[in-house]
C-alpha cells in the first residue's frame, strides 16, 4: 500500500481515515482472516441456519449516530487466552464469565412482527416510530417499548444480506456485526452506549440490536467555523470521551473509529461512545499481539486529539481534498494552532497529535493534564463491575454512593 513508502511514524498509527470524513474507510476493511469458533448460541443461530429471503426491500446499515488507572488496567490479566482473533478472545471471555456487566444483555430468540392499534409496525414489544440512520449493512430505527415506555434505537439487519456481503477473503459482514455484538455484551460504562437486547430468531431472516437511545447531538454540532464549542464545553466532553476510552483500553478493546460522528451527547450533556463495528479485542499476555494492541490504542488517542481539535477549531486538522492528500498532509504538514490559544490547551492538542506514536501523550497523561482538570476539578472515577469483583475477592469494602465509589480496606 502507498502508506508504506512514508518514512517515520506510520500513518495508520496516527488515526483512522474516518476521523477526517472518509466514511468509506469504515466498512469493507482489509482485515486478516479470523477464525470463527466457539459454541455461543448467538453465533450458532446466525451462522448455521438457512436464512430466508425477506419480502421487504433490502435494508441499509448505519452506525447509531450509535477510567481507569494503570493499576486498574487488565483485570483479566491473570488469564492467558488460548486464541488470538477478536472473535476467539470474545468467545473465551463469554464462556468463562469474563464480562464487565452486573446484568447480562437480554437475548431473545423469537421475533413477532405485528402492528399496534394505530397500525404502527411492531417488533416484539417495540413500536416503530421512524428511521434515524442507514448504511451498507442495515438501518437504525427509533422504537418505543410498550413495556417501559422508553425509546430505543434498534439496529435492524437481514442475515441473508450480511452473509452475502464479503468484507475480506474469509469473512462476511456477519463477522463485523457478530463481533460488534460480542464486544458490546462485555461493556457497561456511563460514557458508552448500552446494548440492551439482542433479538435473533433462528427461524427468520431478521436480526436486531436494541440500543439505548441518545436524544441529543454529536459532539461536533455547534462547532463549525468560524468558532468552536468553547473550552468549557470541550473540556466537559473530553473528560467523558477519555473516561469511556480508558475503560475500553483497560479491557484491551480498541475502538478504531473514534470521531465526532460516533460521540453522542445526551440531553443532559453526557457524551457516550457508540459504533463498535470496527473495534478489535487483543490478548493481555501475548507478546505477538502487544504491538497491534499498542498501535491500536495510540491510534485511538490520535483520534481523540482530532476530535478535540474539531471541537475547538470548528474544522478537521490535516484534511485534504482526497484520501491521498490527507495522508500527505498528516505526514508532512505542521499542525496549525493559533498563537493566542490557551497555552495549556495548545500543549494538550500537540501532545495528542504527536506524529510519533511512541512520543504521543497517553490517555492516563491526558486525564491528569492541567487543562483537563480545569479549576482543580478531579477527573471522574469509575470502578467497573469486574474491578469491583476483583476488589471484593481481595477483601476490600466497596461503598457505592450515586456514581461515586469509595474503596476501604
The model's confidence at residue 164, banded by pLDDT at 50, 70 and 90, is very high
**Confidence band for 120, pLDDT divided at 50, 70 and 90:** very high
- The dihedral built from the CA positions of residue 7, 12, 17 and 19, taken in this order, carries a sign that is negative
pLDDT at 366: 95
Q: Is position 36 within any domain?
A: yes
Residue 225 has pLDDT above 90, yes or no: no
Between residues 381 and 244, the one the model is more confident about: 244
Predicted pLDDT of residue 391: 67
Of 114, 120, 102, 124, residue with least CA distance to 199: 124
pLDDT tens-digit series, residues 56-101: 444 443 444 433 333 333 444 333 334 467 777 777 777 776 778 8
Q: Is the pLDDT of residue 375 over 90?
A: no
How many domains does the chain contain in total?
1
Rg (C-alpha) for the chain, rounded Å, is 21
Mean pLDDT of 205-223: 86
Whether 60 sits among the annotated catalytic residues: the reply is no
- The answer to whether the CB of 196 falls within 8 A of the CB of 214 is no
What's the grid cell of residue 195?
A: 446494548
| 195-200/106-108 β-pairing | parallel
* Residue with the larger pLDDT of the pair 314 and 22: 314
Q: Are 101 and 182 in contact (CB under 8 A)?
A: no
pLDDT tops 50 at residue 321: yes
- The pLDDT, as a whole number, for residue 73 is 38
Q: What is the pLDDT of residue 236?
A: 92
Cα distance between residue 36 and residue 148, in whole Å: 36
* CA dist., res. 376 & res. 188, Å (int): 28
Three-class DSSP category at 316: coil
Say if residue 114 is exposed, middle or buried (CB neighbours under 10 Å; 0-12, 13-18, 19+): exposed
> Which value, to the nearest 10 degrees, does the dihedral of the CA atoms of residues 252, 255, 260, 265 take?
-60
Residue 58 falls within a domain, yes or no?
yes
Cis peptide preceding 88, ω within 30 of 0: no
Block residue for cell numbers 480498541: 254
Residue 397 within any structural domain of the chain: no
**For the ranges 33-42, 116-125, 396-405, the one whose mean pLDDT is highest:** 116-125
Kindly state whether residue 94 falls inside one of the protein's structural domains. Answer: yes
Is residue 402 in some structural domain?
Answer: no
Which range among 21-25, 108-112, 171-175 has the greatest average pLDDT? 108-112
Residue 200: the pLDDT is: 95
Produce one character per residue of 248-257: b if its CB has 16 or more CB atoms within 10 Å, e if not. Answer: bbbbbbbbbb
Residue 155, annotated as binding a ligand: yes
- 223: confidence class by pLDDT, cuts 50, 70, 90: low
CA distance 286 to 293: 10
Q: Please, what is the Cα angle at 332 between 6 and 308, to 5 degrees? A: 110
Asked whether residue 386 is assigned to any structural domain, the reply reads: no
Q: Quick check: 259 pLDDT over 50?
A: yes
Q: What is the pLDDT of residue 359?
A: 94
The answer to the question of residue 62 being in a domain is: yes
Q: How far apart are CA 47 and CA 88, in angstroms?
A: 15
> Taking the chain, what is the end-to-end CA distance rounded to the nearest angstrom?
54
pLDDT at 306: 95
Give the side-chain half-sphere CA count within 13 A for 339. 0
CATH number at residue 192: 1.10.510.10
Structural domain of 124: 2-373
Which grid coordinates belong to 365?
497523561
Region of 28 on the Ramachandran plot (φ > 0 left; ψ -120 to 50 alpha; else beta): left
Where are the strands (E) in 105-223, listed by range?
106-108, 113-115, 121-123, 126-134, 138-145, 151-158, 166-168, 171-172, 195-200, 206-212, 217-218
Catalytic residue selected from 257, 261, 275, 300: 257
- Is residue 386 within 8 Å of residue 102, measured between CB atoms? no
Please, how many CA atoms are within 13 Å of residue 362, restricted to the half-sphere of its CB?
A: 11
The Cα 151–Cα 148 span in angstroms is: 9
Query: Hey, what's the cell of 173?
Result: 459482514
Among the listed residues 19, 31, 24, 15, the one whose alpha carbon sits nearest the alpha carbon of residue 331: 15
All cell numbers assigned to 316:
478537521
pLDDT at 361: 95
390 found inside a domain: no
Using alpha carbons, select from 85, 91, 90 the residue that is nearest to residue 34: 85
Mean pLDDT of 353-360: 94
| Cβ(407)–Cβ(396) below 8 Å | yes
Amino acid at each position: 500500500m502507498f502508506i508504506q513508502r512514508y518514512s517515520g511514524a506510520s500513518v495508520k498509527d496516527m488515526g483512522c481515515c474516518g476521523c477526517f470524513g472518509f466514511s468509506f474507510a469504515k466498512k469493507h476493511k482489509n482485515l486478516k482472516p479470523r477464525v470463527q469458533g466457539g459454541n455461543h448460541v448467538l453465533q450458532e443461530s446466525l451462522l448455521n441456519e438457512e436464512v430466508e429471503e425477506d419480502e421487504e426491500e433490502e435494508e441499509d446499515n448505519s452506525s447509531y449516530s450509535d477510567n481507569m488507572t494503570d493499576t486498574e488496567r487488565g483485570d483479566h490479566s491473570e488469564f492467558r487466552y488460548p486464541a488470538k482473533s477478536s472473535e476467539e478472545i470474545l468467545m473465551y471471555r463469554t464462556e468463562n464469565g469474563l464480562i464487565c456487566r452486573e446484568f447480562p444483555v437480554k437475548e431473545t430468540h423469537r421475533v413477532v412482527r405485528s402492528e399496534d392499534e394505530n397500525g404502527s409496525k411492531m417488533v416484539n414489544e417495540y413500536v416503530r416510530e421512524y428511521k434515524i440512520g442507514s448504511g451498507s449493512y442495515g438501518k437504525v430505527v427509533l422504537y418505543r417499548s410498550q413495556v417501559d415506555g422508553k425509546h430505543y434505537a434498534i439496529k435492524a439487519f437481514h442475515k441473508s444480506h450480511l452473509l452475502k456481503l464479503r468484507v475480506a477473503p474469509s469473512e462476511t459482514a456477519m463477522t463485523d456485526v457478530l463481533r460488534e455484538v460480542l464486544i458490546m455484551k462485555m461493556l457497561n460504562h456511563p460514557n458508552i452506549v448500552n446494548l440492551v437486547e439482542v433479538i435473533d430468531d433462528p427461524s427468520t431472516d431478521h436480526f436486531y440490536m436494541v440500543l439505548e437511545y441518545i436524544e441529543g447531538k454529536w459532539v461536533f454540532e455547534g462547532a463549525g467555523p468560524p468558532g468552536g464549542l468553547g473550552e468549557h464545553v470541550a473540556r466537559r466532553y473530553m473528560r467523558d470521551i477519555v473516561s469511556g476510552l480508558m475503560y475500553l483500553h483497560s479491557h484491551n478493546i480498541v475502538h478504531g473509529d473514534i470521531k465526532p460522528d460516533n460521540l453522542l451527547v445526551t440531553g443532559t450533556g453526557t457524551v457516550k461512545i457508540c459504533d463498535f463495528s470496527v473495534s478489535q479485542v487483543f490478548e493481555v499476555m501475548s507478546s505477538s499481539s502487544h504491538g497491534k494492541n499498542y498501535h491500536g490504542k495510540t491510534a485511538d488517542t490520535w483520534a481523540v486529539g482530532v476530535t478535540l481539535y474539531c471541537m475547538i477549531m470548528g474544522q478537521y486538522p490535516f484534511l485534504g481534498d482526497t484520501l491521498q492528500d490527507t495522508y500527505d498532509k498528516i505526514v508532512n504538514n505542521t499542525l496549525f494552532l493559533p498563537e493566542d490559544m490557551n497555552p495549556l490547551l495548545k500543549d494538550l492538542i500537540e501532545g495528542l497529535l504527536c506524529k510519533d506514536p511512541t512520543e504521543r501523550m497517553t490517555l492516563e497523561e491526558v486525564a491528569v493534564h492541567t487543562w483537563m482538570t480545569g479549576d482543580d476539578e478531579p477527573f471522574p472515577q469509575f470502578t467497573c463491575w469486574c474491578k469491583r469483583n476483583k476488589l471484593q475477592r481481595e477483601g476490600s469494602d466497596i461503598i457505592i454512593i450515586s456514581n461515586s465509589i469509595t474503596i476501604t480496606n
